[in-house]
Structure 1
Amino acid sequence: MTGTPSTDRAPADDRVATSRAVVTGIGVAAPNGLGRHAWWNALLRGESGIRPISRFDGERYPARLAGEVPGFVAEEHIPSRLIPQTDHMTRLTLVAAAEAFEDAGVDPADLPEYAAGVVTASSAGGFEFGQRELEALWSRGGQYVSAYQSFAWFYAVNTGQISIRHGLRGPSGVLVAEQAGGLDAIAQARRQLRRGMRLMVCGGIDSSLCPWGWAAQIAGGSLSTSDDPARAYLPFTAGARGHVAGEGGALLILEEEGAARARGARIHGSVAGYAATFDPPAGRGGPRLRAAAELALADAGLRPGEVDVVFADAAGRRAADRAEAEALAGLFGPYGVPVTAPKTMTGRLSSGGASLDVAAALLAMGEGVAPATAGVDRPDPDYRLDLVTGAPRPMRMNTALVLARGRGGFNAAAVLRGVEAAPAGPEPARS
């Protein structure tokens, strides 16, 4: 399955769910930490992973900063037989998937043969692998192109490699919606649980930090050209001039709540609501991000006043930031809910960004502290947002809203509930 719905709607499922979809495992590869503990502690310290590009010579490009996963040596994590057939992105994915299973306390070998599947998001596939093989083709000839090129570049390769490595033979798929894709993948996994699956791996890990991928991102016109890592990505400020691109993301283990509790699993929280919308062409209507949030809340059976914190998309461009701020003010009222964007410490991670925000929201609710929007000292008052800045904000949180927008008009919203939050009532409550 690819893409997201072209009409505004909350998800329709084959049958009514009798229990919540809960997150029991989290695996992270992020520019400010490899592994969920290193990354989460870096968020709370306000430690950024944005720095000058090191994976290739970035000096000749107008944008020279990126969020790169630090200290990652593939050979320390991946079997040697997989190194020649995998892109850097896929190697990060396999490490995050293994961590998610470990965190969930699940050995995939113990699962029934068709009880588990995989849904990931992708925006570019294995760009670095593809670039290398194209260079071999152009400079040396077709006989020097790896046979693994047939799949290592493919946008569905992460799903395939996870399922093969862990023996997951249930329903699997990939969604392509750029930054919104991570939420779409989680929602599709929730649908599979409602159809009877026992466990789903879901989320996104992305990387296209190579000259070929970098040229494509620069052509998009949204990258910041600042050389100051502390000032390059400043969403919701008067100084916003674009975003910094990064690599990484998060993978989650999603289970039906009853089954998870029956095996004594530790639960991080639940996916209570989701919706997707699509922006119309220019001149035929405005952005539909607010509609996505409203539909996700309706799907969760919650009112806007029950949301404790919002993890914003935070595009870092004036027009896009204004549109998101207006959506939030319209839904919650001016300064009506705390808003944060910890992606200022990682950069925007394409298909991995939204699932990393979901991981951040779950850990934030579990520990009662919202990470800050790093680098932003003074948000523009015109946006009328209660932006968490300076330092993490201690607060009681039972409900979080995560927003994401992808290039081309994709919008997605997910409502997460903490462990202590009771399930919403059967009838959706609207504002």
Structure 2
Amino acid sequence: MTRTTVITGLGVAAPNGLGSDVYWKSVLAGLNGIGPVTRFDASRYASRLVGQIDDFEAADHLPSRLLPQTDRSTQLSFAAADWALDDAAVAVGDLADYDMGVVTSNALGGFDFTHREFRKLWTQGPEYVSVYESFAWFYAVNTGQISIRHKLRGPSAALVGEQAGGLDALGHARRTIRGGTRLVVAGGLDSALDPWGYASQLSGGLVTTATDPERGYLPFDTHASGYVPGEGGALLVLEDEESARRRGAEQIYGELAGYAATFDPAPGSGRPPALRRAAETAITDAGLTPRDIDVVFADGAGVPHLDVEEARAISELFGAGAVPVTVPKALTGRLYAGGGPLDVATAVLSIRDGVIPPTHAVSEVPDSYGIDVVRGEARDCPVRHALVLARGRKGFNSAVVVKAPNR
């Protein structure tokens, strides 16, 4: 028998809200988390907009002993894991420690931490470099630290797939639950808004040089000029449905019903991008057809040629204008490994409340795109099945389908 994987807890850390409730209210109210860089002097950088989390103080959420050994991305992950487990009402003793695991994705590593230590190495000498540099920079550290903190000793993993990686973490967690693990904390968070980390993000040439926070990140808009980098993401508690009900889970947000990942062919091959195939396969994996999907949470790169590719994939799969499309990350910036899980959290809240959030500030979508982008106001309508898409650089594509819970 195939185990059903359900979502029972949400932990959100986003530029426009800490905690799922605050974040969701911000999304529906159009509260923009994008603004000028304030953590360092960015006057000589080509781009100066970011999605910063300005109201998070790690010392308010973590014991002091953890602060010197963790990067900001890990500190955000700790908080998100705490919130997700609290939201799922998982109490000590509910499950055996080896029945619970962790799967996270991280695209940028511990940029801020490791560059502080590099600066010490170059200016003061190796004896001043923190011993924690041996692991605090590493992509897998969030999985390990959460596992240790919460005694989640079951099967765990860490994945790297840039923007697509967060959905891959959820897909891997579902596979882990189907293999017999009862609960997995899964998702992703990223942060690299120190001077070097920000420069590394600009080096790819896809970040906007716009200076107006309201016009910086415009996915699918005629005036799209690139994306805005951000920090944050989400961790979700995924459980085997039967186990969750047996332990008395207070809420089930929805089912993680479908997942697929593809990889684009080599440039110049003449073969089409593989995003549509990922979406189609995830829908089939969920036991649905495209007609069953009520909303698409798009990747929404905000880069014209990438927007054209995604719009084509959506319109060819569903038909021109046949399904509402939204990009809530227009309020936060692209969060790399955190972007997909945050979209999944947004999707289950959309299902819960019967409302599709709009794509902030987008006003002019070319008719040639053939997609119905939700703009201006939130759209009230029943939502039972949501498709979430994510693309990472160099060809990664991932898709997840979320279903409304069985009442």
When normalised by structure 1's length, the TM-score is 0.93
Is the counterpart of residue 239 in structure 1 residue 223 in structure 2? yes
1:320 paired residue among 293, 298, 306: 306
In structure 2, what is the Cα distance between the partners aligned to 1:272 and 1:243?
Answer: 30
In structure 2, what is the Cα distance between the partners aligned to 1:103 and 1:319?
Answer: 40
Deviations 1:174-232 (CA, angstroms, capped at 9, x unpaired): 11000001110001000111111010000001101111111111111110010100001
Residue 261 of structure 2 aligns to a residue whose secondary structure is strand
Deviation at 1:384, TM superposition (A): 1.3
Counterpart in the other structure of 2:398: 412
Equivalent position amino acid for 1:417 in 2: K
In structure 1, what is the Cα distance between the partners aligned to 2:247 and 2:92?
Answer: 14
1:374-389 to structure 2, matched below 5 A, reads 374-389=360-375
1:54-69 to structure 2, matched below 5 A, reads 54-69=38-53
2:355–2:378 contact (8 Å) kept in structure 1: yes
Deviations 1:2-41 (CA, angstroms, capped at 9, x unpaired): xxxxxxxxxxxxxx51x31000000000000011111110
Deviation at 1:109, TM superposition (A): 4.9
Equivalent position amino acid for 2:276 in 1: R
2:156 paired residue among 172, 175, 178: 172
In structure 1, what is the Cα distance between the partners aligned to 2:391 and 2:362?
Answer: 21
Counterpart in the other structure of 1:273: 258
Count residues in correspondence. Answer: 405
1:128–1:209 contact (8 Å) kept in structure 2: yes
Counterpart in the other structure of 2:283: 297
Deviations 1:142-189 (CA, angstroms, capped at 9, x unpaired): 000000000000000100110010011111111100000111000100
Is the counterpart of residue 209 in structure 1 residue 161 in structure 2? no
Deviation at 1:420, TM superposition (A): 4.3
In structure 2, what is the Cα distance between the partners aligned to 1:22 and 1:379?
Answer: 35
2:4–2:178 contact (8 Å) kept in structure 1: no
Deviation at 1:238, TM superposition (A): 1.3
Counterpart in the other structure of 1:74: 58
When normalised by structure 2's length, the TM-score is 0.98
In structure 2, what is the Cα distance between the partners aligned to 1:263 and 1:110?
Answer: 7
In structure 2, what is the Cα distance between the partners aligned to 1:380 and 1:145?
Answer: 52
Deviations 1:64-101 (CA, angstroms, capped at 9, x unpaired): 01001121111111100000000011101000000000
1:398–1:420: structure 2 CA closer, same or farther, 3 Å change rule?
Answer: farther
Deviation at 1:60, TM superposition (A): 1.4
1:94 paired residue among 78, 81, 94: 78
Counterpart in the other structure of 1:112: 96
In structure 2, what is the Cα distance between the partners aligned to 1:334 and 1:108?
Answer: 50
* Identity fraction in percent: 55
Deviations 1:305-349 (CA, angstroms, capped at 9, x unpaired): 000000000000111000000000100000010000000000000
1:33–1:70 contact (8 Å) kept in structure 2: no
Counterpart in the other structure of 1:341: 327
In structure 2, what is the Cα distance between the partners aligned to 1:240 and 1:403?
Answer: 19
1:4-403 to structure 2, matched below 5 A, reads 17=2, 19-265=3-249, 266-284=251-269, 285-403=271-389
Residue 114 of structure 1 aligns to a residue whose secondary structure is helix
In structure 2, what is the Cα distance between the partners aligned to 1:96 and 1:104?
Answer: 12
2:47–2:210 contact (8 Å) kept in structure 1: yes
2:30–2:360 contact (8 Å) kept in structure 1: yes
In structure 1, what is the Cα distance between the partners aligned to 2:44 and 2:258?
Answer: 45
Deviation at 1:108, TM superposition (A): 4.6
1:358–1:108: structure 2 CA closer, same or farther, 3 Å change rule?
Answer: farther
Q: Quick check: 260-269 or 146-155, which moved more?
A: 260-269
Equivalent position amino acid for 2:193 in 1: L
Equivalent position amino acid for 2:85 in 1: F
In structure 2, what is the Cα distance between the partners aligned to 1:404 and 1:37?
Answer: 23
Residue 321 of structure 2 aligns to a residue whose secondary structure is coil
Deviations 1:246-284 (CA, angstroms, capped at 9, x unpaired): 000000000011111122211000000000000011122
1:97–1:108: structure 2 CA closer, same or farther, 3 Å change rule?
Answer: farther
In structure 2, what is the Cα distance between the partners aligned to 1:149 and 1:338?
Answer: 46
Residue 383 of structure 2 aligns to a residue whose secondary structure is coil
Equivalent position amino acid for 1:115 in 2: D
Structure 1 stretches lacking a partner, 5+ long: 1-15, 422-431
Deviation at 1:107, TM superposition (A): 2.3
* Runs of 4+ in structure 1 over 6 Å off: none
In structure 2, what is the Cα distance between the partners aligned to 1:308 and 1:332?
Answer: 11
Equivalent position amino acid for 1:274 in 2: Y
Residue 97 of structure 2 aligns to a residue whose secondary structure is coil
In structure 2, what is the Cα distance between the partners aligned to 1:361 and 1:393?
Answer: 13
1:263–1:113: structure 2 CA closer, same or farther, 3 Å change rule?
Answer: closer
In structure 2, what is the Cα distance between the partners aligned to 1:141 and 1:108?
Answer: 45
